Structures are given as structure tokens and as C-alpha cells.
Amino acid sequence: MSDTYDIRAVILQVIQDQHPKNPTDMTLQQGSVLEETKRRIGIKYNEEKERAILTTWHDLFRTGYLAWGLNISNPNPPFFHVTTNGRRALASLNRDPGNPDGYLKHLYFIATLQPVEKSYLEEGLKCFVSGFYKASAVMIGASTESMILDIRDCIVQKLTTIGHPIPKKLTDWKIKTILDAAQTFFDMHKHDFAQSLREEYEAYWAAFIQQIRSARNDAGHPTSVDPVTSDTVHASLLIFPELAKLTEKLRTWVTNEFKYLT
């Protein structure tokens, strides 16, 4: 978690707190938001930190979360308004990708990522908030593929330990082949899952991975100038924590409960 993410989280929280709830409330204005942000962070007589707030503030305009003006009669600073992307972030501020600080806290509360998965995911999140959506899609996809390789390794290790042969496709170099082999393995043994895990696996595993990998493939093998949209990448990031949590449950099942092939 970086200082920039901390500042962004505070700014968004201040905007949410100061956003007019009815027509008689004060309008959103630059000065009041920045002063309250400075107060909450605890900055006194530190121009470097004040400039860090300003940098993050302008990034929110550059990437389309905020826009200048209240209405046509008041189209200029200090008035500003929250855009569609900004409203989306404020609607679920504690876990939306537009607020990386809250998003990562939520993710790491419900799931544990391996170092490679974590590295690519966090870089993908940085790309997303900077408006680099194609790069973000590729990074999120890479993190997901690392997750697939990790659970493949878990299955292979367990099969080796109990003395069963390793399906050839599990050791293939192509990620799609490995994914299909892992899914075949789980489909064969899902009747041994607890009911809640079986229902979660059947409902989400394939769908979540397909959405994220499709966005990654569209970005990595482009056929247009904008092969993925911010909404597509936003969806991938929203799905990712739940996929990570489910994958961790499957990995735990393989390690602790799987005993033999039927």
C-alpha cells in the first residue's frame, strides 16, 4: 500500500462525506475538499506532502473520476462534480478498484495471494487507476494464470505424494491445457466437496476465469485500438477477489482432504 493510495482513499472519502445529499447542501468545491484532506492526513507546514495531495487530486480528473464545474452556469473551478466512474467508485468505496487502498484491504482479508500473483495484481491495479486499461487487463490475466499454475502444482504434489500418476495435460506448457486439466480433475471429484464448496465451484470457477482471461486475451492480441474498456477491466478486478478466495478453498481441499482417485 503506497502513500499515493492512502491519499487517494482519503480524498475519495472526503468527497463522499461532502457530496450534497439534498439541494440545500453546500456544493462540492476544490478548496474545501483539499483542506479537509490535508487535515485528515495530518499535514502541517509540509509543502512536499501538500504537492503529493495535489498530484493525486489532478490524477482523479485526468483519469475521469472527477470533472470541473457544477452546471452550465458554474462550469469552472473551484466547482467540480463526480463523474459516472467516480460515482461507481464511491458506491462501494471500501472495496472498489478505484480506491486501491480499500480494494487491497478487502482482497487480503478474504484471500491470500502467492508472491507472483500479488505482484501482477498490484501492478494491474496501478495501471487501472492510471487509466492504462489494456495493460491492466494483461496484468490481471497474468496474476490469474499464475493462480492456475499454483493450483496445478498443488494437485501434482498431492498426486505424487499419494502415488498416483500425473495426467499428462497437467504438465503441459500451455495455460489453457493446464486449466482444462485442472477443471477435469475438480469435476471428477466435486462430489467429494462440501456442499457449499461444490455449489461455489460449479457456479463461479469457470465463469470467473473465462471473464478475466477473455479480457486479457483481447488486450494481448488486439484487433482494434481499444480492445478492452474500463468497464471490462473494472469487472475483472471486482471478480478477482472472489476467484482468489475460491481458488484458496480448492487448494486447501486438495492439500487436506483429497485422498484417492475414484
Write down the mean pLDDT value for the chain.
90
pLDDT tens track for 151-202: 999 999 999 998 888 999 999 999 999 999 999 999 999 999 999 999 999 9
State the angle between helix axes of 230-256 and 133-161 in degrees (0 to 180), rounded to the nearest 10.
10
Map out the domains of the chain as residue ranges.
3-93, 111-256
Instruction: Give tens-digit pLDDT for 31-54.
Output: 999 999 999 999 888 999 999 999
CATH number of the structural domain 3-93: 1.10.10.10
Residue with cell 473465462: 210
Domain 111-256: give its CATH architecture: Up-down Bundle (1.20)
pLDDT at 4 over 80: no
Question: Residue 155 and residue 248: Cα distance in Å, rounded?
Answer: 13
Residue 1: pLDDT band (50, 70, 90) is very low
Task: Compute the distance between CA of residue 220 and CA of residue 138 in angstroms, rounded to an integer.
Answer: 6
How high is the pLDDT of residue 259?
78
Give the pTM: 0.83
Q: Could you tell me if 254 and 155 are in contact, meaning their C-beta atoms sit under 8 angstroms apart?
A: yes
Residue 39: what pLDDT? Answer: 94
Segment 53-106, tens digit of pLDDT? 999 999 999 999 999 999 999 999 999 999 998 998 888 888 899 999 889 999
Answer yes or no: is pLDDT of 262 > 70: no
